[in-house]
A and B are shown apart, each in its own frame.
Chain A
Amino acid sequence: MDISYLLPTLLLLPLFGIGLIAFGSHPRKTAIIVSFLNLVPGLLLAGLVLRNGQVLFGPEPIPVRGVFPFKFILGMDGLSLPLVGLTLGVTLAAMGVSRDGVKREREYFICLLLVGLGALGAFLSVDLFYFFSFHEVALIPTFLLLGIWGQGDRSGAAWRMTLYLMFGSLVLLVGLIGLVLALPETARTLDWRVLTEALQTNPLAGDRQTILAALLLVGFGTLISLVPFHSWAPGGYASAPTPAAMLHAGILKKFGLYGLLRIALPMVPAGWQQIGGVVGLLLAANILYCGLAALQQRDFRWLLGFSSVMHMGTIFLGLISGTVLGLGGALLLMVGHGFSVALGFAVAGEIHHRTGTTWIPDLGGLAKKAPKLWFYLMIATMASIGLPSLANFAGEILIFFGAWASHPYLVVIAAWGVVLSAVAMLRAVRGIAFGPVANAVENAPEGDITGTREVWPFAFLTTILFVLGLVPVLVLGPARPVLERLLSR
């Protein structure tokens, strides 16, 4: 079997599922089955990359209509593997916690599958055009999900999100185009492999690098919710339907980080170094400012949103550390954060479904009424506040070690951020789970999550968080050569 056909399979399966749903098969079941089946090529590819450390590309470029300069090539190396794994895992879990009986069910599940499909495409694309476009493919259904199926102030949240992310995408587009045009006309290409190669052998002039790096930072940064471009995130997640919040916070946000790792760092290294100071300031704001704001949230989903924004600061610290250790930590934390925030939103969704609210002062006593849900609430909390043996801790500690030599003050801030996030999350847990049983919890028509049918997405995410925390080499091993190459210049 030609393994190179495994790569497009990853994209074709969800597409096939979308077709099936459009033609009338049961939407939720189809979505779950397709997402589950997609694990098969995913695991096979992961096995290949892990065993041989090999980089996979293929199949042969398919020129689109011959006239356009874009080549549809898919590729997977140690950097994209963890993100592809993240996408497959979170997508499956998000489908698992979704519910039957939403309005316009067919469109709902098509949108959800499209988000996952777009993210996979972006992580697998070698051509920058597809890299960018696939992300847009994922963004549009996200807005739809928020605008149509959201809750609370959904139109405001959807608008805010659209404005910010559109702005980010446009700046990013300018940056990407600038990058390509900076090359001499004969060497222009959209293949990031060739582009990286070319820009590493013939680096751009210093000031040009700085401008491009700044554009990429603002573009990708907005998608990542880097302060001051973060305001769309908490409210957006709070209003989004649960699976959409899981998909966006868990996966799509990582697109920006992946982009920085894949494009900004290797292609404009001097520029990235030049703006490192600014990034440092912004990430400190992410950690301290959003951490402090997180302390004040009384709605659990807002809190999750702010704490997720806050963790982006720590990942940025890994990105500016300039060491393989820090970059590896950032990659691990990206994946760990993706799974843990997905679990967090899944739990919040269950709480909302049962009690009709995530307003913490109205909750209480969940531990007594729903011990299983409480257990997963604890796992999500502990993962998010960096408890050892879960994935996020390994990532954080590597970032701290990696950045200590170059940015000790920022490490101190990030370490204090761990305290802040613990304060915020544990206060919430205390409000939700401890104390006497509140009315909203007492009167909930359904009690705990029960049966395999409801529990498996939670158990699945939890298992992955533990596996990655205990065997971080799954992420770090294949990524190491890529990251080393990225820093050698």
Chain B
Amino acid sequence: MIAYSPYLILLLPLFAAVVIRLFLHPFPRFAISVSTLACLGSFIGSLLLLFSGGLGGTIAIPAIPWIEFAGLKADFGLLMDPLARLMATLVSGIALLVHIYSIGYLKEDPHRSRFFAELSLFVFSMMGIVLADNLVTMFLFWELVGLSSYLLIGFWFDRPAAGAAANKAFLVNRIGDFGFILGILGVWSLFGTISLVDLPSSLAASPGGWAVTAVGLGLFCGCLGKSAQFPLHVWLPDSMEGPTPVSSLLHAATMVVAGVYMLIRVLPILELSTVTMTTIAWVGGAMTLLPALIACQQNDIKRILAYSTLSEIAYMVMAVGLGVTGPAMYHLTMHAFFKCLLFLAAGSVIHGCHEVQDIWKMGGLGKRMPFTAIVTGIGTLALCGIPPLSGFWSKDEIFAATAHHPALALVSMVAGFFTSFFMLRLILVAFGGSPRSEAARHAHEGSASLIFPMLILAILSVAGGFLPVNSFLGASPEGTHASWTLWVSLVLALAGFVPAFFIYRAATRDPLSIPILQGKFYVDEFYNRVLVANQDGLGKLADAFEGWVVRGFLVRGSGVVARAAGQGLRLVQCGQVQVYATIFILGALSLLWWILKSGVR
């Protein structure tokens, strides 16, 4: 049994979710305790595993059988290589902090038992993605993560916007998963395995050519959905309708980076095709810049951060596309710290201002919420990659990898400029100046359960860069550290602060107005007008055809004939029902007659 004990880090949160669902709904205190303790247990277990098995080693754990049928073998196994162990620790650790934060944040919500059950379900599913040892079970947990995201975004189900956002998130993800599952099928047919363990050794038989490219792009589709990259990025900003702890945990720190994690897992396949790798790099490169531009003209504090998340994930995607997984994973870890921090701080602001999210209705919060202001500042510096905070180290490694791709380097560094711009805009408008609404005048810091997680994350955001992520993963840092990329990116990042400072120093409303950025490049509009409308149009056509031609004309026409026949049969005069019965008995009798006539033995 001891051999199976690592499954506990996966199963504890599941256990919590089930127990709360079945028994603890009426008892929020117990529900919260069970959920949080399960997460704590998961975190401790992950930590123990992180430090056992040695650096660079893989811990072998027996699998639990699920499907083994006619050549397809998909069991629940745990892949405990350093990458998975690091990611598991990160996920459960951040989740634990968000659990603690949520205790205070949702103190008065009548449905908090359900919230914690869904949170536990999320932790379980996410750990499942991280630890899955084959593509099919990874896909299974992938979908479960989609479900928990759906449930949590729609947590406040009486708000129409929440329901809409939840649906959008699930469906856009489904479109990505459509590509993902086809990619998995492709992997199976090309390489004959879906096991992530056997995959690298099976690649020698690669046929090359367009098939490999298609498979790689299919897998990348999964990443586009879950990690919200163009053209499937539209759900993430809307997902901010969920409670802020959810935005922080799922839609910033952990779930949305699952796509990147998956890409790292299947990198050997992606690398077989330069087309795939180039596509990934360029999608990533472009997506560093576009959301950063949009964020400059957004007014909702959470949406600004959401666009920043899109941009940061794009850095990781670009790094994977360039074939450097170490920096991608490094940035993933650092981003989890500072982006989670920024969201929790935003939550603290929203909590303090009683649900105000428009930064133009805030103002002067620096004096009223000094702790939140300071940690937001720390998060911002880390996000913008200012040394020696965490973001600097990881971004620097990614920029170093772009040294031989000047165009990508340029795009992603310019994105850094705008990141600094919109983050300083956020800080100046929300925390500087004087209050612009009644709510902002009465803003206050939250309880200790809100403060503590932010404190831990602030420390990690400052010092996280010194964690030995690279050496743990066995990745050697790129040797070109002192190259031009460091200086150019740093100068651009710092330069971004300057215009923001002068424009928003004392602004009471936005002096800039750029419609195309406010309209988010009109991607949503395009989808609604062109894709959704067309699909619905086709649906209307099918429905009308069904209603008028098939049901109306054909059936009614033949119905008249049959009714006439039925009238004829009404000698017994017992109503319709007997007519049916008679006809069927006639049918059975004709069977008898036929067979007897032909003399069956």
> Do residues B559 and A188 form an inter-chain contact, with CB atoms below 8 A?
no
Q: How far is the CB of A128 from chain B (nearest CB, A)?
A: 9
Known contacts A140-B584, A296-B536; is A480 also within 8 Å of B178 by CB?
A: no
Let me know if A35 is at the binding interface, CB within 8 A.
Answer: no
- B141 is contacted by which of A176, A388, A476 (Cβ under 8 Å)? A388
B543-593 interface (Cβ within 8 A of A): 543, 546, 550-551, 554-555, 558-559, 562-563, 576-577, 580-581, 583-584, 587-588, 590-592
- A389 is contacted by which of B140, B174, B559, B563 (Cβ under 8 Å)? B140
A432-477 interface (Cβ within 8 A of B): 433-437, 470, 472-473, 476
Stretch in A3-11, A92-100, A177-185, A346-354 with 4+ CB within 8 Å of B: A177-185
Stretch in A21-29, A242-250, A274-282, A415-423 with 4+ CB within 8 Å of B: A415-423
Known contacts A69-B595, A297-B543; is A148 also within 8 Å of B577 by CB?
A: yes
Known contacts A404-B189, A418-B178; is A295 also within 8 Å of B580 by CB?
A: no
Let me know if A162 is at the binding interface, CB within 8 A.
Answer: yes
> Do residues B185 and A295 form an inter-chain contact, with CB atoms below 8 A?
no
Q: How far is the CB of B489 from chain A (nearest CB, A)?
A: 39
Let me know if A208 is at the binding interface, CB within 8 A.
Answer: no
Known contacts A169-B584, A423-B171, A434-B160; is A412 also within 8 Å of B551 by CB?
A: no
> Do residues A419 and B175 form an inter-chain contact, with CB atoms below 8 A?
yes
Docked complex Cα distance between A434 and B15 (Å):
27
Let me know if A143 is at the binding interface, CB within 8 A.
Answer: yes
B182 CB contacts on chain A under 8 angstroms: 411-412, 415
Docked complex Cα distance between A436 and B147 (Å):
22
Stretch in B53-61, B62-70, B384-392 with 4+ CB within 8 Å of A: B62-70
Stretch in A38-46, A47-55, A390-398 with 4+ CB within 8 Å of B: A390-398
Residue of B nearest to A436 (CB): B158
Residue of A nearest to B561 (CB): A163
Known contacts A180-B600, A185-B599; is A472 also within 8 Å of B66 by CB?
A: yes
For A, the interface residue count at a CB cutoff of 8 angstroms equals 87
Q: Is the interface of A mostly helix, strand, loop or mixed?
A: helix
Docked complex Cα distance between A129 and B162 (Å):
56
> Do residues A325 and B71 form an inter-chain contact, with CB atoms below 8 A?
yes
Docked complex Cα distance between A190 and B163 (Å):
56
B68 CB contacts on chain A under 8 angstroms: 473
> Do residues A231 and B601 form an inter-chain contact, with CB atoms below 8 A?
no
A470 CB contacts on chain B under 8 angstroms: 66
Known contacts A160-B551, A400-B181; is A480 also within 8 Å of B588 by CB?
A: no
> Do residues A292 and B538 form an inter-chain contact, with CB atoms below 8 A?
yes
What mask results when residues 357 to 370 of chain A are scored 1 for a CB within 8 Å of chain B, else 0? 00000000101100
Docked complex Cα distance between A464 and B66 (Å):
16
> Do residues A368 and B157 form an inter-chain contact, with CB atoms below 8 A?
yes
Docked complex Cα distance between A158 and B69 (Å):
41
Stretch in A131-139, A197-205, A255-263, A265-273 with 4+ CB within 8 Å of B: A131-139
> Do residues B584 and A136 form an inter-chain contact, with CB atoms below 8 A?
yes
Let me know if A106 is at the binding interface, CB within 8 A.
Answer: no
B239-292 interface (Cβ within 8 A of A): none
Known contacts A159-B563, A173-B591; is A435 also within 8 Å of B163 by CB?
A: yes
Let me know if A323 is at the binding interface, CB within 8 A.
Answer: yes
Residue of A nearest to B173 (CB): A422
Residue of B nearest to A424 (CB): B539
Residue of A nearest to B150 (CB): A426
- B542 is contacted by which of A180, A293, A371, A398 (Cβ under 8 Å)? A293
Residue of B nearest to A396 (CB): B181
Docked complex Cα distance between A292 and B540 (Å):
8
> Do residues A387 and B185 form an inter-chain contact, with CB atoms below 8 A?
no
B157 CB contacts on chain A under 8 angstroms: 365, 367-368, 433-435
> Do residues B160 and A422 form an inter-chain contact, with CB atoms below 8 A?
no
B599 CB contacts on chain A under 8 angstroms: 185, 188
Let me know if B506 is at the binding interface, CB within 8 A.
Answer: no
Residue of B nearest to A294 (CB): B539
Let me know if A62 is at the binding interface, CB within 8 A.
Answer: no
Docked complex Cα distance between A330 and B565 (Å):
39
> Do residues B559 and A159 form an inter-chain contact, with CB atoms below 8 A?
yes
Residue of B nearest to A422 (CB): B174
> Do residues A435 and B158 form an inter-chain contact, with CB atoms below 8 A?
yes
A228 CB contacts on chain B under 8 angstroms: 550
Let me know if B345 is at the binding interface, CB within 8 A.
Answer: no
Q: How far is the CB of A134 from chain B (nearest CB, A)?
A: 11
> Do residues A328 and B70 form an inter-chain contact, with CB atoms below 8 A?
yes
User: Can you list 15 pairs linking A and B with CB atoms under 8 Å apart?
Assistant: A129-B591, A159-B563, A185-B599, A188-B600, A231-B550, A292-B543, A295-B535, A324-B69, A388-B141, A393-B140, A398-B67, A401-B188, A419-B174, A436-B160, A472-B67
Nearest 3 pairs of A and B residues by beta carbon:
A434-B163, A388-B140, A295-B539
| Extra 4 A-B pairs, beta carbons < 8 Å, given A434-B160, A472-B66 | A295-B535, A296-B539, A398-B67, A411-B185
